[in-house]
Structures are given as structure tokens and as C-alpha cells.
């Protein structure tokens, strides 16, 4: 078994040579992959389930198989693969190229990049899914040109990517755990072992669970609660307001500490658009006094962000200039 923690070092990049990179975003339920050309255009895409119910080894096998299949597709298009960018959830140490911990996928201290290099024969750069999404929004999406950015992904959980003075903050993979800032007075138990975390009131899972518990009517997800809120359902409105209030409180804390010029809200909950953004903006304004006031906008790249961020990291690893180079925000 490979034990090296550093990504394979590619040979010199010929700017005129044909080629592509593989990008893969691994989530708790599904994987999104792409073969990307030099202009970040997808030559091939793939969506597959993540077999997390079968255990960590099955997930590793599925990732390796997907990379091999994408490599085969690239070869079929006459494009040699220069590098692989991989984005995964949890705590990811970019420097050591290790998946430190993932509650969703069951990993602890896994030298993921080197294991996949051994399995596939391809050089791999490992990164965190939300940080990859944040970098992609800075390079290609809603935060183009901004130097101080907070990108927030609100889905089953809540996490953030922090960019200060044009540089992502990593802190050995521990930076950005916005979902575990304590908010409000409700001491709801969190999966992290704490209580009162933002995730317990403002994640998509928490919104759906709270509505069902308070109304006695099951919903399929937070999108249903958003629709009911727009229709004037009083229980939905109460749950939605609680989520927006908690999110605004957490964002005020980050704004006080890091002074972002721009806050980009992404993930499933942000698909509600003004229904979420308007109360979050108002709540944030109420919490701030002397602080720099950030703009709050919706993400532009949707569920493609982490995959595109992984692709940017792969191109940067071989020294190819992509749109990210024009933002001043380094990928790794």
C-alpha cells in the first residue's frame, strides 16, 4: 500500500500540447466527474452514486473506477490526462494530501491521493469540496474579482470557504466549519457532539426535520419547506425564519472576525434565492454596527462548483494558466 502523502509531480507542461484534466467531486450521496479541456469546458461528464452504505473501502473502489473510466473516455477523445483533481468532504489536509476525517464517508487519516495514484497510475491532487467550490466561484462565478470572500455551502450540512487577501484559509483542513458556530438559545444536539450549532437550525436537513416535527406533515426536503413558506404556511414561515436568523447571526460573527467584502451563498437551500437572501441580508444588517458590510449574493455555479474547483486545482498542478490565474486566488 502506498504511504507517500505528496501528489505525484508531473513533467514540464508544454503550453501547446493537447491535453485535459479529470475533475471529480465526491459527495455523501453522489459523485460528479468531468474531463475538462484547457478552457475548462467539459469533454465528458459522469454522475454516479457514492456507495457509502457499503463502507469506506467501497467508496475508495468507486472513486478509482470512476477515474479509470474518465481516463478511458479522455483517451477516446485523443486527449492525454495531465492531472486529476479530487474534491471530498470532511477534514482534508491539502499539504499532506490526506483525508483526515469524514463522518459521511467513514475515512480517518487516509492517504487518499497516494492510494488513488497507485490504483490508477494518474497524478492526483486532493482538496476539500467546499474550498474547491469557493475557489471556483472566485475564478468563474459570483465572486470574480473579489479578494475577501466567504463562500457558504448550505446542504445536508453547512461549511464555508474563506478567502482573505486573495488567499484561501486552510489551517490544516480545519478552517471553514461555519456549521458548528453556536447560534441562538436552542441547545439542539448536533452530530458533531456539540449543541446549538448552526447546522441544527439552518441546514437543509434541519429545516425539513423541524417542519415535519412541528407540523406533523412530512416533507421530502427543504425545497418543500421553501415552497410552503412562499405560500404563507405559518409553520414553514416560522422554521424558515429561524434558519435565516441563525445563518445571519453566524455570518455576523465571521464578518466581525474576517471582514469579507462578499458573501456567496450556495448549496441546496440557497436555490430559494431571495426567499433566503433577503431575510439573511436584513438579519446581518441588524447585527452589524461598525463592521465592513459585505454584499450577500447567490452562487452562480450551482452543484458544479466543487467539480470545477477540482479541475482548476488539477490544471494549476501542471502549471497551466486557467481563468483562476486572473483572480489572484491560488487554488492550493
Structure confidence at residue 329 as a pLDDT band (50, 70, 90): low
Asked if 87 and 127 touch (Cβ cutoff 8 Å), the reply is yes
- Number of domains the chain is built from: 2
Structure confidence at residue 6 as a pLDDT band (50, 70, 90): very low
Q: Are residues 170 and 269 in the same domain?
A: yes
Q: What is the pLDDT of residue 184?
A: 73
Q: Are residues 94 and 165 in the same domain?
A: no
Q: What is the pLDDT of residue 28?
A: 85
Return d(Cα 263, Cα 154) in angstroms, integer. 13
Sorted by sequence, the CB contacts under 8 Å of residue 131 that are 6+ apart come out as 92, 161, 168, 170, 176, 309
Per-residue pLDDT tens over the stretch 314-327: 999 999 876 544 44
Q: Are residues 228 and 262 in the same domain?
A: yes
Residue 12 inside a domain? The answer is: no
Q: Are residues 229 and 287 in the same domain?
A: yes
Enclosing domain of residue 236: 145-299
Asked if 123 and 83 touch (Cβ cutoff 8 Å), the reply is yes
98 three-class SS: strand
Per-residue pLDDT tens over the stretch 85-136: 999 998 999 999 999 998 778 899 999 999 999 999 999 999 999 999 999 9
Q: What is the pLDDT of residue 332?
A: 52
Residue 46 inside a domain? The answer is: yes
Residue 332 inside a domain? The answer is: no
Return d(Cα 100, Cα 98) in angstroms, integer. 6
Residue 291 inside a domain? The answer is: yes
Q: Are residues 198 and 289 in the same domain?
A: yes
Residue 80 inside a domain? The answer is: yes
DSSP 91: E
Q: Are residues 29 and 172 in the same domain?
A: no
Q: What is the pLDDT of residue 36?
A: 97
Q: Which of 314, 269, 260 is nearest to 288 (CA)?
A: 260
Residue 41 inside a domain? The answer is: yes
Q: Are residues 320 and 291 in the same domain?
A: no
Q: At 66, which CATH number?
A: 3.30.420.40
On the question of pLDDT at 1 being above 50, the answer is no
Residue 8 inside a domain? The answer is: no
1-15, 203-217, 227-241: range with lowest mean pLDDT: 1-15
Mean model confidence pLDDT for the chain:
91
Q: Strand 158-164's sheet: what is its strand order?
A: 167-168, 158-164, 149-154, 262-266, 295-298
Characterise 19 by phi-psi region: left (phi > 0), alpha (psi -120 to 50), beta (else): left
Residue 214 inside a domain? The answer is: yes
Q: Are residues 182 and 270 in the same domain?
A: yes
Q: Are residues 93 and 167 in the same domain?
A: no
Q: Are residues 285 and 313 in the same domain?
A: no
On the question of pLDDT at 149 being above 80, the answer is yes
What is the Cβ-side half-sphere exposure of residue 32, based on CA atoms within 13 angstroms? 17
Q: What is the pLDDT of residue 330?
A: 54
Q: Are residues 218 and 122 in the same domain?
A: no
Q: Which of 64, 143, 102 is nearest to 308 (CA)?
A: 143
Long-range pairs, 111-115, Cβ under 8 A, ≥24: 111/2, 111/3, 111/4, 111/5, 112/60, 112/86, 112/88, 113/5, 113/6, 113/7, 113/86, 114/2, 114/3, 114/4, 114/5, 114/6, 115/1, 115/2, 115/60
Q: Are residues 124 and 32 in the same domain?
A: yes
On the question of pLDDT at 10 being above 80, the answer is no
Q: What is the pLDDT of residue 325?
A: 44
Amino acid at each position: 500500500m502506498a504511504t507517500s502523502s505528496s501528489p505525484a509531480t508531473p513533467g514540464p507542461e508544454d503550453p501547446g500540447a493537447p491535453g485535459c484534466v479529470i475533475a471529480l467531486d465526491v459527495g455523501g450521496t453522489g459523485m460528479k466527474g468531468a474531463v475538462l479541456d484547457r478552457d475548462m469546458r467539459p469533454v465528458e461528464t459522469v454522475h454516479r452514486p457514492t456507495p457509502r452504505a457499503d463502507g469506506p473501502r467501497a467508496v475508495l473502489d468507486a472513486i478509482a473506477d470512476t477515474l479509470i473510466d474518465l481516463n478511458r473516455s479522455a483517451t477516446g477523445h485523443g486527449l492525454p490526462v495531465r492531472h486529476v483533481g479530487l474534491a471530498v468532504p470532511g477534514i482534508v489536509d491539502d499539504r499532506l494530501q490526506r483525508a483526515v476525517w469524514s463522518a459521511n464517508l467513514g475515512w480517518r487519516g487516509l492517504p487518499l491521493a497516494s492510494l488513488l495514484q497507485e490504483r490508477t497510475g494518474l497524478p492526483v491532487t486532493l482538496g476539500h469540496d467546499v474550498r474547491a467550490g469557493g475557489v471556483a466561484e472566485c475564478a468563474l462565478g459570483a465572486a470574480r474579482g473579489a479578494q475577501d470572500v466567504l463562500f457558504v455551502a448550505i446542504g445536508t450540512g453547512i461549511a464555508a470557504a474563506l478567502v482573505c487577501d486573495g488567499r484561501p484559509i486552510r489551517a490544516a483542513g480545519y478552517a471553514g466549519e461555519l456549521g458548528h458556530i453556536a447560534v441562538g438559545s436552542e441547545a439542539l444536539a448536533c452530530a458533531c457532539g456539540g449543541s446549538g450549532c448552526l447546522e441544527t437550525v439552518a441546514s437543509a436537513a434541519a429545516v425539513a426535520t423541524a417542519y415535519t416535527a412541528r407540523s406533523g406533515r412530512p416533507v421530502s426536503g427543504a425545497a418543500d419547506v421553501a415552497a410552503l413558506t412562499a405560500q404563507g404556511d405559518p409553520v414553514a414561515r416560522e422554521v424558515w425564519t429561524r434558519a435565516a436568523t441563525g445563518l445571519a447571526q453566524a455570518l455576523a460573527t465571521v464578518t466581525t472576525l474576517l471582514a469579507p467584502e462578499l458573501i456567496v451563498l450556495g448549496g441546496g437551500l440557497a436555490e430559494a434565492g431571495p426567499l433566503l437572501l433577503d431575510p439573511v441580508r436584513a438579519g446581518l444588517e441588524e447585527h452589524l454596527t461598525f463592521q465592513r458590510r459585505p454584499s450577500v449574493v447567490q452562487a452562480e455555479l450551482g452543484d458544479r462548483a466543487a467539480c470545477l474547483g477540482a479541475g482548476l486545482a488539477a490544471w494549476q498542478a501542471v502549471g497551466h494558466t486557467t481563468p483562476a490565474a486572473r483572480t489572484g486566488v491560488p487554488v492550493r
